[in-house]
Amino acid sequence: MSKVTGYSSQTRIVALTSVLSGLVAVMTMTAIPLPPPLSTFTLAPVIIFVTSILLGPKAGFVSAAIGSAIGYVAGTTIGTIYIFPGYFYVYLIGLVVARAPMGFAVGLLRKENEFLAMIIGVVVETLIFFTIDFYLFGFAIAVIDFGTLIDLASVPIAYAVLVALRRTLNTRYLA
């Protein structure tokens, strides 16, 4: 039990993971459309990276999976995310299967080199998308997934957010 708050460290991590999952969802559904055949650009990876680095691989995995799923469903419902008819579940599963390991990888590598961990996370996400689409649709369609490398633009933003949060919270990691 923590002397200051009266809550266990684990309870605090679960609460923070839940809140950050919600933020991932909001950032996922606040999508910027890209020209076809690409889908959208979101700042959800920024929140996934920050969560994974501050709270570790498990929290990164969970917040990426839950937040991406909720944000995707909400975004397709309100029209901020467009999908080709009949592919709702394929895209939903693909997003969760790619983003959750991205969060886990970043959290796992965070203490080695945070900047490199985020870059590797984007590469992991891209390779998972590529593998899924290669299996489902073939090479010609799967190669489009290399467009997800646009998520590398989230790395410097996430790093700036981390610097600001660390200064505010006066801590390097929360878990």
Q: What is the CATH number of the domain that holds 148?
A: 1.10.1760.20
Q: What is the mean pLDDT of the chain?
A: 92
Report the number of distinct structural domains present in the chain: 1
In a domain, 2, yes or no: no
Cα distances (angstroms) measured from residue 142 to each of 101, 124, 131, 134: 19, 15, 7, 5
Across the strands, what pairs with 40? 33
In a domain, 52, yes or no: yes
Give tens-digit pLDDT for 105-160.
999 999 999 999 999 999 999 999 999 999 999 999 899 999 899 999 999 999 99
Q: Where in the sequence is the domain holding 39, given as residue range(s)?
A: 9-169
pLDDT of residue 5 exceeding 80, the answer is no
Q: Once rounded to an integer, what is the mean pLDDT over residues 51-77? A: 97
Side chain identity at residue 16, one-letter code: L
Judge contact between 44 and 71, C-beta under 8 A. yes
